Every structure is written in structure tokens, then in C-alpha cells.
């Protein structure tokens, strides 16, 4: 039997890139998924694609994860639709890069509200359900930038470092109910987010990656599926860097 048969996973930012790969990987291993993104066009397309080969395995939900009340409503809808949630993957994230000297207050707020408060909002929406679920898991997609910082990404670095602290606090708070909470910290992965990097920056980044190549979305999905699996039941409060050796 596939490893995630009977399980339900919620994947935020599932409309594109890493989140899309995670959602599809869960379905390939037997789970049903709630694909969440900002726009219905992206999460709807992913859900349609999944349902074409696995009928009824996916449903799409468009919400801004930064909107606390809207996320609580979405949470109720997902629980009503699926009857249960075992796995929550907080993957929705944005960048608004710029040197501090030029960074606007709204660029700071957008990134913190999406990347960090978004995870608080979804954990609030699903924690009661997770506490009663079989093999309950919270997996937050952080970033190596949250570990080592990066010039021009003060907002993003702070949001991802904050997400790592949040991951550990949640791990401690929910350990008594056997809910594990871990983070995956990707390095540079080929997606829309990194597609915008100028060639010169890409070349410079590559010199800092021992494995000398960008990662693929499947590399992150594999780490998430491991942490979500029953085999990872004794791992909590950890940060798994999937970065080609960048931060070793
Ligand atoms: P993409 O930009 O390709 O996709 C981001 C996804 O998040 C989209 O589906 C988008 O929705 C969704 N999203 C963005 N803001 C919101 C919001 N406010 N509410 C709901 N959904 C939202 O990103 P990646 O796949 O590259 O990155 C995914 C995660 O991995 C992010 O958290 C990112 O920080 C992290 N990461 C990525 C790295 C990389 O190299 N790519 C490296 C390290 C970390 P929509 O489709 O509707 O726009």
C-alpha cells in the first residue's frame, strides 16, 4: 500500500514551484491534498492536473495566507471537505528584495506577513485537528538564507529565521500530542523565484555550492515526504538543509 494512503496533506503555495512538486509527490504516494495558493488559477490548475490521473485526490483553495481570518475559514472548509488533516506543509513564500537603505516598510511587512505570520495562521487553523490525527506533521519550508543571511534580503532572512524559531517552539508545544514540527531549508532551487536571478548572480551563487548545481523541486519534495513519513516519527524541532552542501 502507498505510504500515505488514507492521509490528507495541506500544502500552501502549492500552485507553483516547490509546493506543486510537494503536492504531486504526496498524491503519488497515496495521499489526498488540499492545494492552497493565492490565486485560484494556479492552485486550480494543479488540482485539475492531479485529479486527471488520481480522481478526487486534490482540491484547490485560493487564500492569502497572511489573512488570519480568511485562513481560519479556509481551514474549516478543508476539514469539512476532507474530514481530516494529517500533514501541514507551510511552503507559501515571497521575496521583496532590496538593500536595507532602500527597503520600503511595505516590503518588510509583505514578506514577514506571508512567510512567517502565514505559518502562524495555518497552524492555528489546523492544530486541533492535527492533535487528533494519525502521524501528525507540520513541515515549514524555510531557507538557507534564514540560517546564513543575505545582503539585500533582510526581510526574507528575518522571516525565514523567524520561521525556524517558530518551528522549534511549535515542536515543543505540540510534542505531548505527538505532532512533530520540522523545517526544510532549501538552498537554490530552480523555480520561478530563482528564475529571475541575473546570469552573473547565478554564476556567483554556483561557486558557493559544493555540489555545483542548483537543486530541483523534487529534491525538496523528497525531504518533505521523508519528514512526513511514519519513519520520521522521532524527529522533531529540526532543520534539514537541502542545499548541495552550501551551509555545511
Ligand atoms: P514560487 O514563487 O515558485 O511559488 C510560490 C507559491 O506561493 C505560489 O503558489 C504562490 O501562489 C504562493 N503564495 C505566495 N504568496 C502567497 C500568499 N500570500 N498566500 C497564499 N499563497 C501564496 O516559489 P518557490 O516554489 O520557489 O518557493 C516555495 C517556498 O520555498 C517559499 O517559501 C520560498 O521562500 C522557499 N524557498 C525557495 C527557494 C528557491 O530557491 N526557489 C530557496 C529557499 C526557500 P500563486 O501561485 O497564486 O502566486
pLDDT at 163 over 90: yes
Q: How far from each other are the two terminal CA atoms of the chain, in whole angstroms?
A: 36
User: What pLDDT was estimated at residue 196?
Assistant: 82
Distance of CA 185 to the CA centre of its chain: 10
Residue tagged 484547490 (cell numbers): 60
Confidence band (pLDDT; 50, 70, 90) for 161? very high
C-alpha grid cell, residue 110? 509583505
What is the 176 CA–ligand 1 centroid distance (Å)? Answer: 31
What is residue 112's three-state secondary structure? Answer: helix
Average of per-residue pLDDT across 221-242: 98
Mean pLDDT to the nearest integer, 91-116? 98
Identify the pLDDT of residue 47: 98
**Mean pLDDT along residues 184-192:** 96
Please report, to the nearest 10 degrees, the dihedral formed by the alpha carbons of residues 217, 187, 4, 170 taken in order.
Answer: -140
Closest ligand 1 atom to the C-alpha of 64?
Answer: 19
Name the band, by pLDDT with cuts 50, 70 and 90, for residue 193: confident
What is the pLDDT of the chain when averaged over all its residues?
Answer: 97
Per-residue pLDDT, averaged over 136-145, amounts to: 99
Percentage of the chain surpassing pLDDT 90? 96
Q: Which residues carry out catalysis?
A: 156
Closest ligand 1 atom number to CA of residue 42: 46
Mutate to test the pocket of ligand 1, among 71, 193, 206, 241 (most ligand atoms within 8 A of CB): 193
Looking at residue 128, its pLDDT comes to 98
pLDDT bracket for residue 197 (50, 70, 90): confident
- Per residue, the 3-state secondary structure of 79-106, as one string, reads HHHHCCCCEEEECCCCCCCCCCCCCCHH
CA of 147 to the centre of ligand 1 (A): 18
Mean pLDDT of the region 139-149: 98
Provide mean pLDDT across the span 150-166.
98
- Band (45; pLDDT cuts 50, 70, 90): very high
CB 183 within 8 A of CB 197: no
CA distances from 7 to 27, 45, 81, 135 (A): 10, 22, 13, 9
Report the nearest atom of ligand 1 relative to the CA of 215. 40
Q: How far is the centre of ligand 1, averaged over its atoms, from the C-alpha of 113 (Å)?
A: 13
Long-range contacts of 150-156 (CB under 8 A, 24+ apart): 151/99, 152/97, 152/98, 152/99, 153/95, 153/97, 154/100, 154/103, 154/108, 155/96, 155/103, 155/107, 155/108, 155/110, 155/111, 155/112, 156/95, 156/96, 156/97, 156/111, 156/115
The pLDDT of 151-178, averaged and rounded, is 98
Cell numbers at residue 22, please? 510537494
Residue nearest to atom 18 of ligand 1 (CA): 64
Name the band, by pLDDT with cuts 50, 70 and 90, for residue 195.
confident
91 C-alpha to center of ligand 1: Å?
Answer: 6
Mutate to test the pocket of ligand 1, among 15, 18, 223 (most ligand atoms within 8 A of CB): 18
Pocket-testing residue among 10, 11, 12, 13, ligand 1, by greatest number of atoms within 8 A of Cβ: 13
Nearest 5°: the CA angle 221, 38, 198 is: 65
Whether residue 116 has pLDDT greater than 90: yes
Report which secondary-structure segment, H or E, holds 192: helix 192-195
Would you state the pLDDT for residue 123?
99
Q: Does the pLDDT of residue 16 top 90, yes or no?
A: yes
Percent of the chain topping pLDDT 70: 100
Q: Which atom of ligand 1 is nearest to the CA of 220?
A: 30
Give mean pLDDT, residues 200-220: 95
pLDDT recorded at residue 54: 98
Q: What is the mean pLDDT of residues 131-135?
A: 98
Ligand 1 midpoint to CA 17 (Å) = 7
CA-to-CA dists, residue 20 to 124, 188, 217, angstroms:
23, 17, 9
Amino acid at each position: 500500500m502507498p505510504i500515505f494512503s488514507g492521509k490528507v496533506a495541506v500544502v500552501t503555495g502549492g500552485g507553483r514551484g516547490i509546493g506543486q512538486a510537494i503536492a504531486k509527490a504526496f498524491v503519488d504516494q497515496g495521499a489526498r491534498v488540499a492545494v492552497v495558493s493565492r490565486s485560484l488559477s494556479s492552485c486550480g490548475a494543479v488540482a485539475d492536473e492531479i485529479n486527471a490521473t488520481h480522481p478526487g485526490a486534490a482540491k484547490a483553495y485560493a487564500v492569502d495566507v497572511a489573512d488570519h481570518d480568511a485562513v481560519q475559514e479556509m481551514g474549516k472548509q478543508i476539514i469539512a471537505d476532507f474530514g481530516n488533516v494529517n500533514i501541514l506543509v507551510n511552503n507559501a513564500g515571497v521575496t521583496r528584495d532590496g538593500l536595507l537603505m532602500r527597503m520600503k516598510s511595505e516590503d518588510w511587512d509583505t514578506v514577514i506577513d506571508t512567510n512567517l505570520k502565514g505559518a502562524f495562521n495555518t497552524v492555528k487553523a489546523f492544530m486541533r485537528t492535527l492533535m487528533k490525527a494519525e502521524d501528525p506533521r507540520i513541515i515549514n519550508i524555510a531557507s538557507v538564507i534564514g540560517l546564513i543571511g543575505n545582503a539585500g534580503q533582510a526581510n526574507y532572512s528575518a522571516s525565514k529565521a523567524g520561521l525556524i524559531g517558530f518551528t522549534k517552539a511549535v515542536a515543543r508545544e505540540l510534542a505531548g500530542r505527538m505532532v512533530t514540527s520540522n523545517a526544510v531549508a532549501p538552498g537554490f532551487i530552480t523555480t520561478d523565484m530563482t528564475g529571475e536571478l541575473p546570469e552573473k548572480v547565478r554564476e556567483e551563487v554556483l561557486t558557493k555550492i559544493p555540489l555545483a548545481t542548483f537543486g530541483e523541486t523534487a529534491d525538496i519534495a523528497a525531504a518533505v515526504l521523508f519528514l512526513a513519513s511514519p519513519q520520521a516519527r522521532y524527529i522533531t524541532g529540526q532543520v534539514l538543509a537541502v542545499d548541495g552542501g552550501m551551509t555545511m
